[in-house]
Amino acid sequence: MSAASRGGLVRLAPSSRAHGAQRMLSMTTLLVEALVVFFAALVAHQLIPEHRGATWTLALATAVALLATAGLLRRGAWPYLLGALLQIPVIAMGVLVPAMWVVGPILAAIYVYGVLAGHRWDAEKDEVDRRVLAERAAAEGTAPDGV
């Protein structure tokens, strides 16, 4: 079923699965991004010695925000949006380390893909679970749980 047939908008809400693909993919990407930002700060430390204080402040604040956001993903939809917004300073690290102009957008695309595709995969898994529980209940002659 396409997004258009479900009302035309892509659902950005977190999936209902506690340990689903959406959260795992998003969390993993945010954690990797925090490491990449830290290593970019190490590179910038040598490339731009006159701005080391600003470099470390920006990089550590971004890395801590990425780590905190990864830990907050179970709290609803807003951490996923915050994770998307944090892609801006990750890409902006390209001002200090030119390689981040390439790496940042790739990581941002991976994050967005993880949020959207993970939600779809979790919804498909929920549907399979509902169908299997309904079939099992019908075979046993009882009412299915959670249907």
Q: Which letter does DSSP use for residue 53 in this model? A: H
Q: Is residue 133 part of a domain?
A: yes
Lookup: tokens for 114? 């993880």
Residue with tokens 């801590």: 64
Q: Is residue 67 part of a domain?
A: yes
Number of domains in the chain: 1
- pLDDT of the residue at 1: 42
Q: Is residue 4 part of a domain?
A: no
Contact indicator for 142, 129 with CB cutoff of 8 Å? no
Contact indicator for 122, 15 with CB cutoff of 8 Å? yes
Write out the residue range of the structural domain in which residue 94 sits: 19-140
* Whole-angstrom distance, CA of residue 131 vs CA of residue 34: 39
Longest dimension (CA), the chain: 75
pTM of the predicted model as reported, rounded to 2 decimal places: 0.80
Q: Is residue 91 part of a domain?
A: yes
Q: Is residue 2 part of a domain?
A: no
What residues in the chain have per-residue pLDDT under 50?
1-9
Q: Is residue 145 part of a domain?
A: no
Q: Is residue 3 part of a domain?
A: no
- pLDDT of the residue at 122: 84
- pLDDT of the residue at 18: 67
Query: How far is C-alpha 145 from the geometric centre of its chain's CA atoms?
Result: 31
Contact indicator for 98, 44 with CB cutoff of 8 Å? no
Q: Is residue 38 part of a domain?
A: yes
